[in-house]
Amino acid sequence: MMKRIVVAVGVVLRNHEVFISHRDSSRHQGGKWEFPGGKVEDNESVSDALLRELKEEINIDVISQQPFMVIEFDYPDKHVSLDIHLVTEFAGEPKQLEGQEARWVALQDLGNYEFPEANKPIVEKLLSM
């Protein structure tokens, strides 16, 4: 049976810009850009996972977030369910704590960055906002 992973994803927005990180080339889908977030553990809700992952990964405390979209995606080795939330209010200045390159990007420039296949609908929806 294919492994199923639920991932909480935060689209961190400020002044028509979004915060993205560059995936380490040794990781799955490495070398591409991504939105911060991570796997939902067995004992936590998507919201709890989102708050925990954004604190661990980019050092912000989420004050306000709302559901944006859910994407189901099959990679050859696993099924991924991305539960994406817009993070519009937060405390702290986002910075990548895991050593990856990260930057603020103007929403209209997102198309210039390569994202994993599963993330493309997020980029398209953001570009249409």
Domain CATH number, residue 23: 3.90.79.10
pLDDT in tens, 92-115: 999 999 888 999 999 999 999 999
pLDDT band for position 27 (50/70/90)?
A: confident
Is 50 exposed, middle or buried, given 0-12, 13-18 or 19+ CB atoms closer than 10 A? Answer: buried
State how many domains the chain has: 1
Closest CA to 62 of 110, 6, 14: 14
**Residue 7 sits in which domain range?**
3-127
Predicted model pTM: 0.92
